[in-house]
């Protein structure tokens, strides 16, 4: 063999080696050893959209890999607040009936005491492949209480065909959104669709409203609910203006019934072709473009609007998988949780149902980007999303959120004016949180 040929061969071998090594560090391959013995692992999972079906398919794949383990998927309520209530019933009773819980990004502080530390089960390589901020969010007193499964951020959905029909641009401010929503609503109704609305969102009194209202608050320059330093920032003119604006949507560009809407209610109206704009999470994209959707191919996705006082804001959401302390098969449960959250499984969920991976390298995966182009174009929205104050308020976060969404809801329904609502909310939050928490100017 000539020296030249040998050099070329060597080069090829090292390039191929390098490429494989890259792949291995970016997306750790599954080296899953099946747990020993027989066990049944019950996973409490969401059923929003096609979530349940996806979890069942994944459970099937796990059982094919490890036939000694039976994985059962338990359906849980759609509204996050109701789901937490159900989980607490199981956990406070120390029930072994559920092994793995799908937990919200805001719940590690609330549920940590009931969950095992997953650190011994996760390799450093796998842990390093997830967004560090989520891993940190899920780490309570040094214990990893949940492996990240998918992340979420609030988005603005619009009907691209209707914007074109009415010669409108994608709105970047709330004023523009209101004007466009009204114009399209007037036009579509004049053409005979009496059920058409400008803008649908989550207005029911539950966790989803906390997410929507936090986006209004931040984008109006009204601070945040509670800052990471413990400052309660709800009593200010900008947040009052944001709430007055949202209350003004009810019955004008949004249906009266929006004050009872969760994610799926908003999606039902939008996907039936009866709304111009929708605030929702990424999962709505795949479903809206599915074969049975009348608006398939006519959906645009952009960042939510802002104002001259504040930048656009998306609330950070997302879900983790945790293993209960009361599980009778914690090893098998951890194995199932890690499998579900693994790169190949996150990739399937991203492609089939637009669930945002928590594994960073999947945002560069061509198949993922082809299925959900905005995972690339709106990457910044996902990485700069605004967190709810669940770290600083820890186990009291749910009480904080209940006070917040109840106050917001009372303004939306006209029970209270915005000014009174934020003043009372400030007092209630200070009462609840007490020492270590402040209000501006103190
Ligand atoms: C989504 C988010 C979650 C949030 C919930 C509110 O599921 O991922 O974080 O709490 O919506 O409805």
Closest to 268 measured CA to CA, from 282, 278, 281: 278
Q: How far is the CA of 330 from the centre of ligand 1 (A)?
A: 26
Domain at 155-313+389-433: CATH architecture:
3-Layer(aba) Sandwich (3.40)
Q: Looking at the predicted structure, is the pLDDT value of residue 401 above 80?
A: yes
User: What pLDDT, on a 0 to 100 scale, did the predictor assign at position 273?
Assistant: 98
Q: Ligand 1 test: best mutation among 47, 84, 104, 214, most atoms within 8 Å of CB?
A: 104
Query: Are the folds of 9-153+317-383 and 155-313+389-433 the same?
Result: yes
Residue bearing the CA closest to ligand 1, atom 6: 208
Q: Mean pLDDT over residues 185-200, rounded?
A: 98
User: What pLDDT, on a 0 to 100 scale, did the predictor assign at position 442?
Assistant: 76
User: What pLDDT, on a 0 to 100 scale, did the predictor assign at position 34?
Assistant: 95
Q: How far is the CA of 437 from the centre of ligand 1 (A)?
A: 26
Within 13 Å of residue 161, how many CA atoms lie on the same side as its CB?
Answer: 10
Q: Kindly give the number of the ligand 1 atom that is closest to the alpha carbon of 210.
A: 6
In the sheet with 100-104, reading across from the earlier edge strand, the strands are 69-75, 39-45, 100-104, 316-323, 147-153
Q: Kindly give the number of the ligand 1 atom that is closest to the alpha carbon of 104.
A: 9
Kindly report the length of the chain: 442
User: What pLDDT, on a 0 to 100 scale, did the predictor assign at position 3?
Assistant: 54
User: What pLDDT, on a 0 to 100 scale, did the predictor assign at position 2?
Assistant: 55
Q: Looking at the predicted structure, is the pLDDT value of residue 153 above 60?
A: yes
pTM: 0.93
Q: How far is the CA of 240 from the centre of ligand 1 (A)?
A: 24
Q: Looking at the predicted structure, is the pLDDT value of residue 22 above 80?
A: no
User: What pLDDT, on a 0 to 100 scale, did the predictor assign at position 31?
Assistant: 58
Q: Looking at the predicted structure, is the pLDDT value of residue 17 above 70?
A: no
Closest to 61 measured CA to CA, from 86, 30, 37: 30
Ligand 1: list residues with CB < 6 Å. 80, 104-106, 152, 207-208, 211, 263, 281, 317-319
Topology (CATH) of 9-153+317-383: D-Maltodextrin-Binding Protein; domain 2 (3.40.190)
Residue bearing the CA closest to ligand 1, atom 11: 208
Q: Ligand 1 test: best mutation among 80, 84, 280, most atoms within 8 Å of CB?
A: 80
Q: Kindly give the number of the ligand 1 atom that is closest to the alpha carbon of 262.
A: 12
Residue 204 gets the label, from left (phi > 0), alpha (psi -120 to 50) or beta, of beta
User: What pLDDT, on a 0 to 100 scale, did the predictor assign at position 11?
Assistant: 47
Reported as a single tens digit per residue, the pLDDT across 203-251 is 999 999 999 999 999 999 999 999 999 999 999 999 999 999 999 999 9
Q: How far is the CA of 67 from the centre of ligand 1 (A)?
A: 33
User: What pLDDT, on a 0 to 100 scale, did the predictor assign at position 344?
Assistant: 98
Domain locations along the chain = 9-153+317-383, 155-313+389-433
Closest to 368 measured CA to CA, from 379, 32, 165, 405: 379
- Is residue 101 a contact partner of residue 314, using CB atoms and an 8 Å limit? no
User: What pLDDT, on a 0 to 100 scale, did the predictor assign at position 181?
Assistant: 98
Concatenating the DSSP letter of every residue in 341-375 gives TSHHHHHHHHHHH-PBPSBGGGGG-HHHHHH-THH
Give the whole-angstrom CA distance, residue 383 versus residue 301: 16
Closest to 115 measured CA to CA, from 334, 399, 359: 334
Q: Mean pLDDT over residues 104-132, rounded?
A: 98
Residue bearing the CA closest to ligand 1, atom 1: 317
Q: How far is the CA of 292 from the centre of ligand 1 (A)?
A: 25
Reported as a single tens digit per residue, the pLDDT across 272-290 is 999 999 999 999 999 999 9
Q: Ligand 1 test: best mutation among 47, 108, 211, 408, most atoms within 8 Å of CB?
A: 211
User: What pLDDT, on a 0 to 100 scale, did the predictor assign at position 405?
Assistant: 98
Identify the band that residue 30 occupies on the pLDDT scale cut at 50, 70 and 90.
low
Determine which of 3-17, 271-285, 352-366, 408-422 has the lowest per-residue pLDDT on average.
Answer: 3-17
Identify the band that residue 441 occupies on the pLDDT scale cut at 50, 70 and 90.
confident
Place of tokens 């020296």: 3
Identify the band that residue 432 occupies on the pLDDT scale cut at 50, 70 and 90.
very high
Q: Mean pLDDT over residues 84-94, rounded?
A: 98
219 exposure class (CB count in 10 Å sphere: 0-12, 13-18, 19+): buried
Identify the band that residue 1 occupies on the pLDDT scale cut at 50, 70 and 90.
very low
pLDDT, the chain, mean: 94
Top-confidence residue, 250 or 17: 250
Q: Ligand 1 test: best mutation among 77, 153, 208, 262, most atoms within 8 Å of CB?
A: 208
Q: How far is the CA of 151 from the centre of ligand 1 (A)?
A: 9
Residue bearing the CA closest to ligand 1, atom 12: 208
Residue 251 gets the label, from left (phi > 0), alpha (psi -120 to 50) or beta, of left
Q: Looking at the predicted structure, is the pLDDT value of residue 147 above 70?
A: yes
Determine which of 9-23, 88-102, 133-147, 166-180 has the lowest per-residue pLDDT on average.
Answer: 9-23
The 8-class DSSP code of residue 316 comes to E
């Amino acid at each position: 063999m000539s020296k030249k040929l040998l050099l070329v061969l060597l080069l090829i071998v090292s390039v191929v080696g390098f490429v494989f090594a890259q792949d291995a560090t970016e997306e750790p391959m599954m080296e899953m050893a099946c747990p020993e013995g027989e066990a049944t692992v019950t996973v409490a999972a969401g059923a929003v959209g096609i979530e349940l079906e996806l979890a069942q398919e994944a459970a099937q794949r796990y059982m094919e890999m490890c036939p000694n383990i039976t994985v059962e998927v338990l359906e849980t309520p759609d509204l996050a607040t109701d789901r937490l209530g159900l989980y607490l019933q199981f956990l406070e009773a120390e029930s072994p009936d559920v092994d793995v819980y799908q937990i919200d990004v805001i719940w590690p502080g609330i549920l940590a005491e009931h969950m095992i530390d997953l650190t011994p089960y996760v390799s450093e390589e796998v842990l390093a492949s997830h967004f560090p901020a989520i891993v940190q969010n899920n780490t309570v007193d040094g214990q990893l209480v949940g492996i990240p499964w998918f992340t979420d951020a609030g988005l603005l959905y619009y009907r691209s065909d209707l914007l074109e029909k009415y010669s409108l641009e994608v709105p970047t401010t709330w004023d523009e959104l209101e004007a466009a929503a009204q114009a399209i609503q007037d036009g579509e109704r004049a053409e005979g669709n009496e059920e058409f609305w400008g803008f649908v969102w989550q207005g029911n009194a539950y966790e989803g409203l906390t997410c929507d209202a936090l986006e209004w608050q931040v984008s109006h320059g009204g601070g945040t609910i509670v800052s990471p330093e413990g400052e309660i920032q709800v009593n200010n003119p900008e947040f009052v203006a944001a709430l007055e604006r949202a209350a003004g949507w009810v019955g004008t560009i949004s249906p009266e019934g929006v004050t009872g809407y969760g994610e799926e209610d908003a999606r039902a109206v939008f996907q039936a072709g009866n709304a111009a704009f929708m605030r929702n999470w990424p999962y709505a994209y795949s479903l809206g473009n599915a074969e049975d959707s009348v608006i398939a191919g006519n959906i645009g996705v952009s960042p939510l609007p802002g104002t001259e006082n504040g930048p656009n804001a998306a609330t950070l959401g997302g879900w983790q998988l945790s293993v209960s302390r009361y599980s009778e098969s914690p090893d098998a449960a951890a194995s199932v949780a890690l499998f579900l959250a693994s790169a190949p499984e996150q990739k399937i969920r991203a492609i089939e149902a637009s669930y945002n991976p928590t594994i960073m390298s999947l945002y560069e995966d061509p198949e993922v980007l082809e299925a959900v182009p905005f995972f690339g174009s709106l990457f910044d929205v996902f990485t700069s999303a605004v967190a709810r104050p669940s770290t600083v308020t820890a186990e009291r976060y749910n009480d904080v959120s209940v006070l917040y969404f109840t106050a917001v809801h009372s303004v939306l329904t006209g029970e209270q004016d915005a000014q009174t609502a934020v003043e009372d909310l400030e007092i209630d939050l200070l009462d609840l949180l007490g020492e270590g928490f402040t209000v501006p100017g103190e």
